[in-house]
Amino acid sequence: MKEAEYQENERLQLAFDYVYYTGRNVFLTGKAGTGKTTFLKKLRKTCPKRMIVTSPTGVAAVNAGGVTLHSFFQLPFGPRTPESPLESKNGMNSRKIQVIRTLELLVIDEISMVRADLLDSVDQVLRRYRRNNKPFGGVQLLLIGDMQQLSPVVRPEDEDILRPYYDSYYFFGSIAWRKTSYVCIELDHVFRQTDGSFISLLNNIREGRVDASTINALNSRYIPNYQPPKGEDIVTLVTTNRQADSINYTHMLALPTEQKEYAAQVKGDFPESSYPVEKNLVLKKGAVVMFLKNDTSFDHLFYNGKIGRVTDFDDDGVFVRCNGETEDIHVGAMVWENSKYEIAPDTKEIKETIIGTFTQIPLRVAWAVTIHKSQGLTFDRLMIDATHSFAHGQVYVALSRCRTLEGLVLLRPLSSADVISDPQVRSFAQMVEQNMPNKSVLSADKRDYYFDTVTELFDFNAIYNDLQSMQRFLSLYASSVIGNKNAFNGLDSIVLGQLISVSEKFMQDIRRTYGNTLDIEAEQTLQQRIQKGCGYYVEKMQTLLEEPIKTFAFDSDDKAKKSKLLDTYQSLTYNFDLKKNILACLSDGFNIKKYLTNKAGISLELTQGTGSNSKLSRVQPKVSDVTSRYVSNNPELYNDLVEWRKGKAESM
């Protein structure tokens, strides 16, 4: 794909703008070969938001440079209903929780293979650990994939469990997704194919318009008993692993040459399910192979999907002669990486850390390859046997791997019955096509994102709710708590009257005044008002709230009640310190990136450490002076009273 051609694509730019400058969830789709993979590669390098990249399968995750949904969110395999309790496989460690709490963008690649219940489980995890009940915990989602390609696996026993809750098992059937405000952007410029008539045929197959003329045009490429010309190796795409293995085994067995085996080197954490090539790769001279990586050297001698034939071996690798070339390519072992996401201690940014590597010759025996494993690849010549297709999108994936109709050879003729197309997907695709955003919608969404971010900056509801909870618990546990049980009385009214009400009026006014401003971030009078607002709220928090919150003291010998009260108090101090420090940082100027960066950094600072050693866990109210006097002046009486109350509690 030419870089200039890619950069000039309006819909690609629209997708970048939505991810960079709005908070809307984005479903990015498009026909095979429209640049979705290239988009993701560029996004990883340039996105200003704190992001992670995930995929539904291990191999897809390794190829996308991300992690699997199941591993990152520690979700069990198998069906889950909205009523299923959220049980993490191993318990979420504190470093991963930090990533989740400061996450701004979640990317899910190959979304066509993600089932609705899996996406709802991701929603549950995000809401729990971000302490935010918005869909997906308020994280922006970017879902990438073509729904006309490979679909999620739903076994009959899974369907029995999921049917009462879902009317569709595709991702768009997710309960959480349907609650979000999302935009759909369909890339429509095909870079892989240039022949308009072939693109039209592919569109007909993709959209389920399988009329006689389409089938006849495709079957013009049916050549009975076809044998590739001598010296030209062409991959055969088939529907099942059994077919591919049988074809490859038969051809390998027929070669009279000796076999050579290459053992992969696996270091660290690299699950077997994510191996991108066989751990023990067996090859012979004369074997047809496919490259599984791009040549990153200056020469760029091979690419993922290039076909050739093994000509020789040495201790360091394999010699491969590709179609139409006069010189062998020497390919040695290359490295695939398995990563995890964590917070960098110095920059506080989300970074990828390599936790395992898989080193192997990047080749696969390739007289035959399954349609599933061909996804994302491009071929100049291709033989296809898709007469046993069993799932939505298989025939389209197979046909769309080839650049031209003339490069295709059908080993068996196609019928309309071979083209399986799901009406749910067709209906969703029509909705996508009819609801594409334009530049004016983007402009409004960018403005709304700015206003929503300012609203979040001046939102004091978390502090208000914590204060009300403290008052409620102190009243409810009055007989079990020693200390100033009236410390928070009236503070919720102060927050409501002098912070929340003022903030709501302020936001109503700026939306009314600047609601039609085109370049909202450049509006200087608005900047000045936001800066003054930050100063006002910092002063109010310091003078009205800081002393009663920071000097609160209590004690209780009832462990359960003390724990609940302590959790609420720690939440209050966290939300208070987070809000006050963010406002202070933005009192000299506001923009969205600055807000997000400071919010993440301050949150990490307040929660740094692990478990009971975290900074937040070390926030403890002072032991009540009343308790201190009892302990110092009457230690024996105090201990007797504690034991009596414990015994009384146990007998009730």
340 compared with 191, residue with greater pLDDT: 340
Q: Tell me how far the alpha carbon of residue 93 is from its chain's centroid.
A: 18
Backbone angles phi and psi of 360, in degrees to 5: -160, 160
* Confidence category of residue 648, pLDDT binned at 50, 70, 90: low
Calculate the alpha carbon distances from 463 to 63, 374, 499, 502 in Å: 44, 53, 10, 15
Fold of the 3-192 domain: Rossmann fold (3.40.50)
The size of the chain, in residues, is 652
* Inter-residue contact 222 to 413 (CB < 8 Å): yes
Summary count for the chain: helices (H), strands (E):
25, 22
CA 177 distance to own-chain centroid: 13
pLDDT bin (cut points 50, 70, 90) of residue 607 is confident
Mean pLDDT of the chain: 86
Distance CA 523, CA 515 (A): 12
- Which amino acid is present at 240? T
Please state, in angstroms and rounded to a whole number, the distance separating the CA atoms of residues 139 and 141: 6
pLDDT of res. 644:
62
Six-digit token string for 626: 């009343």
CA pair distance 387, 614, nearest whole angstrom:
59
**571 vs 377, higher pLDDT:** 571
Q: What residues are paired with 482 via a beta bridge?
A: 555
154 contacts 173 by C-beta, under 8 angstroms? no
Domain locations in the chain? 3-192, 200-421, 441-621
pLDDT value for 410: 93
Percent of the chain with pLDDT over 90: 44
402, 235 Cβ separation under 8 angstroms: no
Phi, psi (5° rounding) for residue 144? -120, 130
Question: 233-255 in b/e burial notation, b at 16+ Cβ within 10 A?
Answer: bbbbbbbeeebbeebbeebbeee
Report helix, strand or coil for 598.
helix
Phi and psi based region of residue 374 (left: phi greater than 0; alpha: psi -120 to 50; beta: remaining): alpha
Which residues have a Cβ under 8 Å from the Cβ of 234 and sit 6 or more positions away? Answer: 228, 307, 381, 382, 383, 409
**Does the pLDDT at position 435 exceed 70?**
yes
Taking alpha carbons only, the member of 154, 175, 309, 142 closest to residue 231 is 309
Q: Cα(579)–Cα(602) distance, rounded to whole angstroms?
A: 9
> CA nearest 468: which of 490, 483, 484, 485?
490
Distance CA 236, CA 245 (A): 12
Q: How far apart are CA 557 and CA 481, in angstroms?
A: 8
pTM of the full predicted structure? 0.78
* 130, 354, 562 from 644: Cα distances, Å: 41, 56, 17
Neighbours of 397 (CB within 10 A): 25
Specify the range with the lowest mean pLDDT, choosing from 284-293, 356-365, 387-396: 387-396
Q: What pLDDT, on a 0 to 100 scale, did the predictor assign at position 630?
A: 46
**Range with the poorest average pLDDT among 95-109, 394-408, 621-635:** 621-635
User: pLDDT band for position 213 (50/70/90)?
Assistant: very high
**Cα 370 to Cα 239, 360, 417, 526, 544, distances in angstroms:** 5, 21, 20, 58, 68
- Environment class of 645 (CB within 10 Å of its CB; exposed 0-12, middle 13-18, buried 19+): middle
474 near 485, Cβ under 8 Å?
Answer: yes
- Across 76-90, 259-273, 332-346, the highest mean pLDDT is recorded for 259-273
What is the predicted pLDDT for the residue at 367? 94
182-187 and 408-410: which strand pairing? unpaired
Lowest mean pLDDT among 293-302, 572-581, 643-652: 643-652
pLDDT per position as a tens digit, 54-88: 988 776 677 666 788 988 998 888 888 888 777 65
User: Can you tell me the distance from the alpha carbon of 200 to that of 600, in angstroms, rounded to the nearest whole number?
Assistant: 48
For the purposes of burial, counting CB atoms within 10 Å of the CB of 37, is it exposed (0-12), middle (13-18) or buried (19 or more)? middle
Site of tokens 């003729």: 413
CA distance 138 to 101: 10
Residue 358: which pLDDT band, with cuts at 50, 70 and 90? very high
Largest CA distance in the chain: 102
* For range 597-612, the mean pLDDT: 76
Is the separation of the CB atoms in 138 and 21 below 8 Å? no
Specify whether the CB–CB gap between 443 and 16 falls below 8 A: no
Q: Which pLDDT value is given to residue 87?
A: 65
**Taking residues 93-106, what's their average pLDDT?**
88
**Residues 56 and 118 sit within 8 Å (Cβ to Cβ):** yes
Average pLDDT value for residue range 118-122? 95
DSSP for 560-597, written as a single string: HHHHHHHHHHHHHHHHHHHHHHHHHHTTT---HHHHHH
Question: Is 598 exposed, middle or buried (CB count within 10 Å of its CB: 0-12, 13-18, 19+)?
Answer: middle
pLDDT score recorded for residue 295? 87
Cα 485 to Cα 550: distance, rounded to the nearest angstrom = 14
For the stretch 480-506, pLDDT in tens is 888 787 888 889 999 999 999 999 999
